[in-house]
Structure 1
Amino acid sequence: MPLYFAYGSNMDRAAMTAHCPRSRPVGIAQLARHRFVIMREGFASVVRDPGRSVHGVLWDLALADIGGLDRYENMAQGLYAKLYLSVVGPSGPRRALIYVGRNSGPGRAAASYMEPILTAAAAFRLPQGYVAELQRHLPPGREPIAKPRAAASAYRLRERRPP
């Protein structure tokens, strides 16, 4: 099964279960030399930035789920492009499928879009500084969410051991 690096709404376990029911989280990962942005359409993407990194969740993507993920990411309408990039995950550097927005912005995300991203980022225990960066994408006047301690235990992962 291919690996998939989620850095936006697909970090949320419930969202992934809805359109990729056979896929499982492997652990957290990092995409070097990129930064998180919001596209003009209001959705997450990444752009090259040599001094930054994007943190996210690495999924073991079932082949049967790829079509559902493509539909969710509006591949037919050209919203995202699929790339395979190197990420550093629980077992070291790996190539992973990543959906990158064709329009890098700038844009604004709705609170209803960003809040599940922030909840998943905190639950998967992404670095606090990175979660604070993500919080800057909340609409003006919106308070950052608190770390969901109870949700963190529900997101605990077993580290996958290499064969």
Structure 2
Amino acid sequence: MTLYFAYGTNMDRAAMRLRCPGARAIGTGTLEGWRLLVAVDGYVSIVRRPGARVHGVLWRLTAHDLAALDAYEGVDAGLYRRRMLPVIVGVARRRAQVYISRSAAPGRPRPGHLSLVMSAAQSWHLPITYRDELRRFASSGWHGARTPQAGEVR
């Protein structure tokens, strides 16, 4: 069994049932030192950023599920790569596979993509501040999650 940290549409329970029928959700977790962005391919990815956090869901996968996710994420085609990173789950650190876009160049989100991410974040009750960040990210045309500037209306 492999642990996998999802921060995008793979947080969605129904999507994971279709893609990875053997996957079991462990719960929510946090990846520290990374931030979310929309990569040039139009899907969310993560990039290193000291002090930042990405919230998501930790899944336990079978070998078959991991192979299915590799195909879905386009690992062989070079779209995403898999890395083992420490994820905070409660008070523990667990090492989990994480998919990261090969390009850190910002792009525009594909239609409907961020709404799926936001819906999954809501269903997992991810922190409201993080969900607000996703909403600003989606509605502002901005390519990366950001902190509001002084005087900006929330």
Match of 1:7 in 2: 7
Kindly tell me: are residues 23 and 91 of structure 1, through their superposed partners in 2, closer, same or farther at Cα, counting changes over 3 Å? farther
More displaced stretch, 58-67 vs 130-139: 130-139
Number of aligned positions between the proteins: 141
Structure 1 residue 110: Cα displacement: 2.7
Structure 1 residue 139: Cα displacement: 5.0
Structure 1 residue 19: Cα displacement: 0.9
More displaced stretch, 84-93 vs 72-81: 84-93
Does the residue aligned with 1:78 lie in a helix, a strand or coil? Answer: coil
Match of 1:55 in 2: 55
Structure 1 residue 105: Cα displacement: 2.2
Structure 1 unmatched ranges of 5 or more: 142-163
Does the residue aligned with 1:98 lie in a helix, a strand or coil? Answer: strand
Whole-Å separation in 2 of the counterparts to 1:114 and 1:137: 9
Match of 2:125 in 1: 125
Does the residue aligned with 1:138 lie in a helix, a strand or coil? Answer: helix
Q: Are the aligned partners of 1:29 and 1:56 in contact in 2 as well (CA < 8 Å)? A: yes
Match of 1:19 in 2: 19
Match of 1:84 in 2: 84
Normalising to structure 1: TM-score of the pair?
0.82
Mapping 1:7-156, distance limit 5 Å: 7-90=7-90, 92-138=92-138
Q: C-alpha deviations, 1:6-31, integer Å up to 9, x for none?
A: 00110011111111111011000000
Partner amino acid for 2:97? L
Does the residue aligned with 2:76 lie in a helix, a strand or coil? Answer: coil
Does the residue aligned with 2:138 lie in a helix, a strand or coil? Answer: coil
Q: Are the aligned partners of 1:42 and 1:108 in contact in 2 as well (CA < 8 Å)? A: yes
Q: C-alpha deviations, 1:37-75, integer Å up to 9, x for none?
A: 110110111100002100000001112211110111011
Whole-Å separation in 2 of the counterparts to 1:105 and 1:3: 27
Structure 2 unmatched ranges of 5 or more: 142-154
Partner amino acid for 2:118? L
Give the alignment's Cα RMSD to 1 decimal.
1.4
Q: C-alpha deviations, 1:103-155, integer Å up to 9, x for none?
A: 112111134111111011011010011111111232559xxxxxxxxxxxxxx
Whole-Å separation in 1 of the counterparts to 2:133 and 2:139: 13
Does the residue aligned with 2:65 lie in a helix, a strand or coil? Answer: helix
Detail structure 1 runs of 4+ shifted over 6 Å in the superposition: none
Whole-Å separation in 1 of the counterparts to 2:140 and 2:60: 35
